[in-house]
Amino acid sequence: MDKVFDQKKYEEKIYSMWEKSGVFSPKINQKRKPFTVILPLPNANDPMHMGHALFTVEDIMVRYHRMLGDPTLWLPGGDHAGIETQYVFEKHLASEGKSRFDFDRKTLYKMIWDFCDKNKDLNKNQMKLLGFSMDWSRYHYSLEPRIVAKVLKTFKKLHDDGLVYRGERIVNYCTRCGTAFSDLEVVYKEQNSFLYYLDYGPVQIATTRPETIFADVAVAVNPKDKRYNNLVGKKATIPLINFKIPIITNENIDIKFGTGALKVTPAHDTLDYEIGVKNNLQIISIIEQTGRIKSDPRVPDEIQGLYVNKARQKTLELLEQNGKLVKKEPLTHSVGVCYKCSNVIEPMIIPQWFVKTKPLAAPAIAAVKKGKTKIFPKKRFEKLYFDWMENIIDWNISRQVVWGPRIPVWYCFNCNSQIQISFINKNKECVKGVYETLSQRYSFDEISGGLQSILAPKNASYQLDNKRCHKCGSDKLLQETDTFDTWFLSGQWPLTTLGIDVDNIKKSSEDFKYFYPTSVLDTLWDILFFWVGRMMMFGLYLTNEVPFRVVHIHARVVDQFGKKMSKSKGNVVDPIVMVDKYGADALRWALVAGVGPASDIAISDDKVKGARNFANKIWNISRFIDMKLKDAAVEDYKSIPEFSDKMKGVSPNDKKIVEKLNKIINLTSKYLESYKFGLASEKLYAFVWHDFADKYLESVKKRLETNDLVPLSVLRHVLFNTLKLLHPFIPFVTESIWQELKSQRKSPDIMLVASSWPSGK
617 & 634 share domain: yes
473 & 502 share domain: no
In a domain, 190, yes or no: yes
Please list, in sequence order, all residues whose beta carbon lies within 8 angstroms of the beta carbon of residue 178, skipping any fewer than 6 positions away: 100, 289, 400, 401
Mean pLDDT check: name the lowest of 49-63, 111-125, 434-448.
Answer: 111-125
Domain termination residue (choose one: 346, 379, 397): 346
In this structure, are residues 61 and 74 in contact, taking their beta carbons and an 8 Å threshold?
Answer: no
209 & 333 share domain: yes
Between these two residues, 211 and 89, which has the higher pLDDT value?
211
Give the Cβ contact number of residue 387 at 10 Å. Answer: 11
pLDDT at 185 over 90: no
Give the Cβ contact number of residue 309 at 10 Å. Answer: 11
In a domain, 468, yes or no: yes
Give the CATH number, domain containing residue 183: 3.90.740.10
Please list, in sequence order, all residues whose beta carbon lies within 8 angstroms of the beta carbon of residue 194, skipping any fewer than 6 positions away: 208, 328, 329, 330, 331
CA angle 711, 716, 721 (to 5 degrees): 130
List alpha helices for 632-756, DSSP H.
652-673, 677-686, 698-699, 701-705, 709-726, 731-740
pLDDT of residue 439: 95
Mean pLDDT of 614-619: 96
Please list, in sequence order, all residues whose beta carbon lies within 8 angstroms of the beta carbon of residue 126, skipping any fewer than 6 positions away: 47, 48, 52, 575, 576
pLDDT at 313 over 90: yes
In a domain, 351, yes or no: no
**Selection from 365, 401, 480, 397 nearest residue 163 by Cα:** 397
500 & 531 share domain: yes
623 & 683 share domain: yes
In this structure, are residues 55 and 91 in contact, taking their beta carbons and an 8 Å threshold?
Answer: no
pLDDT per residue as tens digits for the range 73-109: 999 999 998 888 888 888 889 899 998 889 999 999 9
Average pLDDT score over the chain = 93
pTM for this structure? 0.87
In a domain, 59, yes or no: yes
Instruction: Specify the 3-state DSSP secondary structure of 110.
Output: helix
pLDDT of residue 312: 96
Give the CATH number, domain containing residue 44: 3.40.50.620
- Rounded (to 5) percent helix, strand, coil in the chain: 45, 20, 35
In a domain, 537, yes or no: yes
Beta strands 204-207; 325-338: pairing state: unpaired
In a domain, 737, yes or no: yes
Domain termination residue (choose one: 318, 346, 374): 346
221 & 122 share domain: no
Angle between the 358-369 and 378-390 helix axes, to the nearest 10 degrees?
Answer: 160
Give the separation between CA 303 and CA 361, rounded to whole angstroms.
Answer: 44
In this structure, are residues 359 and 163 in contact, taking their beta carbons and an 8 Å threshold?
Answer: yes
**Selection from 108, 121, 126 nearest residue 55 by Cα:** 126
Give the separation between CA 748 and CA 368, rounded to whole angstroms.
Answer: 46
Give the separation between CA 262 and CA 267, rounded to whole angstroms.
Answer: 15
Give the CATH number, domain containing residue 739: 1.10.730.10
474 & 615 share domain: no
Residue 352 CA: distances (Å) to CA of 83, 355, 431: 16, 10, 23
Mean pLDDT of 619-646: 90
725 half-sphere exposure, CB direction, 13 A CA radius = 30
600 & 713 share domain: yes
pLDDT of residue 567: 58
In a domain, 16, yes or no: no
611 & 747 share domain: yes
Give the separation between CA 573 and CA 138, rounded to whole angstroms.
Answer: 30
pLDDT of residue 566: 64
Instruction: Specify the 3-state DSSP secondary structure of 551.
Output: strand
Backbone dihedral region for residue 69 (phi beyond 0: left; psi -120 to 50: alpha; all else: beta): left
Instruction: Specify the 3-state DSSP secondary structure of 403.
Output: coil
693 & 591 share domain: yes
pLDDT per residue as tens digits for the range 683-731: 999 999 999 999 999 999 999 988 889 999 999 999 999 999 999 999 9
Domain termination residue (choose one: 449, 479, 509): 479
Please list, in sequence order, all residues whose beta carbon lies within 8 angstroms of the beta carbon of residue 207, skipping any fewer than 6 positions away: 195, 196, 198, 213, 258, 263
The pLDDT confidence band at residue 165, using thresholds 50, 70 and 90, is very high
Residue-number span of the structural domain to which 461 is assigned: 409-479
In a domain, 727, yes or no: yes
The helices-and-strands tally (H runs, E runs) of the chain is 26, 27
Mean pLDDT of 465-473: 96
218 & 337 share domain: yes
Domains of the chain: total: 4
333 & 187 share domain: yes
Handedness of CA 437, 443, 444, 450 (dihedral sign): negative
